[in-house]
Amino acid sequence: MPFIPTAPWTHSAEAWRVAVLAGGTSAERDVSLESGKSVSTALRQAGHQVTVIDPRDVPVASIDWKSFDVAFLALHGTFGEDGEIQQQLDELGVLYTGSGASASRLAFHKLDAKRRFISARLPTPEYAVVPPTVDPFAAMSLAKYVGFPLAVKPEAQGSSLGVSIIEHPSELPMAIERSRQFDEQVLLERAIPGDEWTVPVLDDVALPPIRITTSRPFFNFEAKYQDDETRYDVITDENHVVVRRVQQLSLQACQTLGCRGMSRVDLRVDPQGQAWLLEVNTLPGLTSHSLVPKAAASLGWSMARLCEEMIQSAWQAKVAKERRRA
């Protein structure tokens, strides 16, 4: 269903005590710190009591969680999006934003997510897996099976780190080695021509999608976080055929993986108008360059309102879970 803005956040007249978890030890640490800064600034300006905690320096189990109402997860990459910290917080009985451990783990591992998409008959590009034991030069038969041009990706990594788009077989060994700097297992995926789209999904509703235009071969780390010329077109026309298509497919992807809270679905739309699922990000970036705040702004939401909606989603999930147990 298209996104219908809800009423402003009204859980409590009191300020919430929020622990913003940011930083961590992954390759996306710097992006996470920027997300944490953006979130904490917005929530403080809205009157909430905010403490920023870096799990790299403070073990999650050692935090006095009785001092907080909710953990806002601004982590990215391993020990953030991979389900590990969610599992720890579940065991500690801590309320937190975003998807649970199982959905986070599924989405972070691209191979597992693609298998779920295929089982659900959702369109996703053809692929092959290069195991850690396979020499990059010996992977040529797998690459030819998928076909060129080819996207070469770490099997579990975010922010497009270690991703290459290659057009010739001679580029394959170097691309695999680049991906293996982030994960020993590598995914070879057919590179879909056309436009890049992303759709933020909050629980069971889709925000306006964003069409991305970059001068680079694809929407890589530099295009996401460093290039000022990258163009983001938020498409708010609900009657736009591609908008309906990518929103519906994004909702199906999140439902298939069991996501909750805020996620962001990345897609390609080919010249024939066919939408293809690439991946689901269960802890999308919340920096000044990030896409979810851009989509929220098109609805008239401030950054504080966006963060409050994400906290409210976590609270509603907790209430629903308690009702099921009753």
Contact, 299 vs 5, CB < 8 A? yes
| Concatenated DSSP letters of 15-46 | PPEEEEE---SSTTHHHHHHHHHHHHHHHHHT
Answer yes or no: is 266 a known binding residue: yes
Answer yes or no: is 279 a known binding residue: yes
HSE of 266, CA atoms in CB hemisphere, 13 A? 25
Answer yes or no: is 239 a known binding residue: no
3-state class of 71 per DSSP? Answer: strand
Active site residue: 40, 250, 290, 313, which one?
Answer: 290
State the pairing for strand pair 49-53/17-21: parallel
290 in catalytic set: yes
Query: What b/e sequence results for 175-187 when a residue is b if at least 16 CB atoms lie within 10 Å of its CB, and e otherwise?
Result: bbebbbebbebbb
Active site residue: 28, 189, 196, 308, which one?
Answer: 28
Amino acid at 192: I
E strand or H helix at 188, and its extent? strand 186-190
Q: Give CA–CA dist 99/180, Å, rounded.
A: 27
Active site residue: 26, 32, 38, 159, which one?
Answer: 159
67 in catalytic set: no
Cβ-based neighbours of 295, under 8 Å, separated by 6 or more:
200, 207, 208, 209, 210, 234
3-state class of 169 per DSSP? Answer: helix
| Concatenated DSSP letters of 246-267 | HHHHHHHHHHHHT--SEEEEEE
Contact, 82 vs 107, CB < 8 A? no
The CA-CA-CA angle for residues 186, 250, 72, to 5°, reads: 80
Q: What residue numbers does the annotated binding site for Mg(2+) cover?
A: 266, 279, 281
Residues forming the active site: 28, 159, 290
